[in-house]
Amino acid sequence: MKSTSQFDLQPSDLLAHLDIAAKFRNHEFNIQFTRNVVFTGSQAVMLACYAATITGFPWSSLVLAVIGIFFASLGYRYYRAGLYWARFWENRCRQVYDSVANELKFDVNIFEGHPSGQAEFVSRPVIKYAGKSVSWGSVHNLISYTQILFLVMWIFLAGVAGEACRRDIEMGGAQRSAPTEFKSKCEVLSCD
């Protein structure tokens, strides 16, 4: 990054650059979390539909499980792609902040102890709250593990639905799936 003296930037220009970098970073994180809500919510709805259909309509449950596998895989890929851009703008934001802090002689660095922008982040900062140490964690790990958990769950449920479909075929398919009350009414209507 070139020094500000080459461009004759004013402090307000530097702060505007920092504001833009922060807005891009926040925008990327918002997109990432919105995608996560959409993928997690849609999979929760599909899971409820799966539970409602597994006993009477195993083929529908199998289709839902396959769609669930697709959604979990896609959700994880979107998460990884979004994480790249979120980290990119987080690092860019840190670079701009460092330049602004150096040029304007800030005595506080808001990124001190934060992993963004550091190639090798070894030590985690110790944060005390009410006399106790608060452990450091990342919400990104939780998002990643949620999609992986959904993927494993959908694969298992696809196996369960596949077994239910196999039993359905052995028991005569759609005839077994129809409720007895419905079959008796159909038999009455088809009398000779």
- The Cα-based distances of 136 to 77, 126, 127 in angstroms read 25, 8, 8
Q: For residue 65, how many other CB atoms are within 10 A of its CB?
A: 24
Q: How many Å separate Cα 73 from the centre of its chain?
A: 10
What are the φ/ψ torsions at residue 132 (nearest 5 degrees)?
Answer: -115, 150
Please tell me the least confidently modeled range out of 4-18, 86-100, 159-173. Answer: 4-18
Largest CA distance in the chain: 99
pLDDT, one tens digit per residue, over 43-65 is 999 999 999 999 889 999 999 99
Q: For residue range 12-26, what is the model confidence (pLDDT) as tens digits?
A: 787 888 888 888 888
Q: Which amino acid is at 59?
A: W
What's the pLDDT tens digit per position in 130-188? 788 776 666 777 888 899 999 999 999 999 999 999 998 888 765 454 455 545 544 55
Instruction: Please say whether the beta carbons of 181 and 99 come within 8 A.
Output: no
Q: What is the pLDDT of residues 126-139, one digit of tens each?
A: 677 778 877 666 67
Domain ranges of the chain: 4-189
Strands (E), the chain: 127-129, 132-134
- Is there a contact between 39 and 144 (Cβ–Cβ < 8 Å)? no
pTM, two decimal places: 0.68
Short-list 160, 109, 116, 157, CA closest to 138: 116
**Other CB atoms within 10 A of residue 147 CB:** 23
> What gap in Å lies between CA 125 and CA 114, rounded to an integer?
8
